[in-house]
Amino acid sequence: MTHREKSFPSSPADKKSVNICLEFSYASTNIQQLTVLYAHEVLKRVNGNKAMTARILGISRPKLNRLLTGELII
Protein backbone atom coordinates (compact mmCIF):
# COMPACT_ATOMS: atom_id res chain seq x y z
CA MET A 1 0.00 0.00 0.00
CA THR A 2 1.07 3.52 -0.60
CA HIS A 3 -0.29 6.99 0.01
CA ARG A 4 -0.78 9.76 -2.51
CA GLU A 5 -1.56 13.31 -1.47
CA LYS A 6 -3.40 15.82 -3.60
CA SER A 7 -4.19 19.39 -2.66
CA PHE A 8 -7.32 21.10 -3.86
CA PRO A 9 -9.22 24.21 -2.83
CA SER A 10 -11.92 23.48 -0.29
CA SER A 11 -14.15 25.68 -2.41
CA PRO A 12 -13.58 27.30 -5.80
CA ALA A 13 -13.30 30.76 -4.23
CA ASP A 14 -11.09 29.53 -1.37
CA LYS A 15 -7.34 29.69 -1.91
CA LYS A 16 -6.68 27.45 1.10
CA SER A 17 -5.66 23.88 0.20
CA VAL A 18 -6.62 20.61 1.81
CA ASN A 19 -4.50 17.48 1.54
CA ILE A 20 -6.13 14.13 0.95
CA CYS A 21 -4.57 10.72 1.20
CA LEU A 22 -5.61 7.74 -0.92
CA GLU A 23 -4.49 4.22 -0.16
CA PHE A 24 -4.08 1.87 -3.09
CA SER A 25 -1.90 -0.90 -4.41
CA TYR A 26 0.14 -0.12 -7.51
CA ALA A 27 -0.17 -3.73 -8.62
CA SER A 28 -3.95 -3.99 -8.52
CA THR A 29 -5.34 -0.46 -9.00
CA ASN A 30 -6.01 0.92 -12.47
CA ILE A 31 -6.58 4.54 -13.46
CA GLN A 32 -10.37 4.07 -13.49
CA GLN A 33 -10.38 2.85 -9.89
CA LEU A 34 -7.99 5.60 -8.79
CA THR A 35 -10.17 8.26 -10.42
CA VAL A 36 -13.28 6.92 -8.67
CA LEU A 37 -11.45 6.78 -5.30
CA TYR A 38 -10.34 10.39 -5.75
CA ALA A 39 -13.83 11.57 -6.75
CA HIS A 40 -15.36 9.88 -3.69
CA GLU A 41 -12.75 11.44 -1.40
CA VAL A 42 -13.38 14.93 -2.81
CA LEU A 43 -17.14 14.38 -2.44
CA LYS A 44 -16.62 13.37 1.19
CA ARG A 45 -14.46 16.45 1.87
CA VAL A 46 -17.14 18.82 0.56
CA ASN A 47 -19.87 17.13 2.60
CA GLY A 48 -21.59 15.44 -0.32
CA ASN A 49 -21.92 18.58 -2.44
CA LYS A 50 -21.85 17.14 -5.97
CA ALA A 51 -21.86 20.53 -7.71
CA MET A 52 -18.77 21.63 -5.79
CA THR A 53 -17.11 18.25 -6.32
CA ALA A 54 -17.65 18.51 -10.08
CA ARG A 55 -16.21 22.06 -10.09
CA ILE A 56 -13.12 20.95 -8.15
CA LEU A 57 -12.59 17.99 -10.49
CA GLY A 58 -13.19 20.13 -13.57
CA ILE A 59 -16.04 17.98 -14.91
CA SER A 60 -19.78 18.43 -15.33
CA ARG A 61 -22.16 17.23 -12.66
CA PRO A 62 -23.75 14.63 -15.00
CA LYS A 63 -20.26 13.32 -15.78
CA LEU A 64 -19.52 13.12 -12.04
CA ASN A 65 -22.71 11.13 -11.50
CA ARG A 66 -21.73 8.70 -14.27
CA LEU A 67 -18.24 8.37 -12.79
CA LEU A 68 -19.59 7.62 -9.31
CA THR A 69 -22.10 5.05 -10.58
CA GLY A 70 -19.59 3.26 -12.79
CA GLU A 71 -21.31 4.28 -16.04
CA LEU A 72 -18.34 6.41 -17.15
CA ILE A 73 -15.32 4.52 -18.39
CA ILE A 74 -12.10 6.49 -18.64
The conformation of residue 11, written as its DSSP 8-state character, comes to S
Q: What is the pLDDT of residue 16?
A: 62
Q: What is the value of pTM for the model shown?
A: 0.69
Q: Are 61 and 48 in contact (CB under 8 A)?
A: no
Q: Give which of 36, 74, 58 is closest to 44, Cα–Cα.
A: 36
Please tell me the CATH code under which domain 2-69 is placed.
Answer: 1.10.10
Q: What is the pLDDT of residue 1?
A: 42
* pLDDT means over runs of 10, the chain (74 residues): 50 61 80 91 95 97 95 82
Give the CA distances from residue 60 to residues 34, 57, 65, 67, in Å, rounded to whole numbers and listed in that order.
19, 9, 9, 10
Q: What is the pLDDT of residue 11?
A: 52
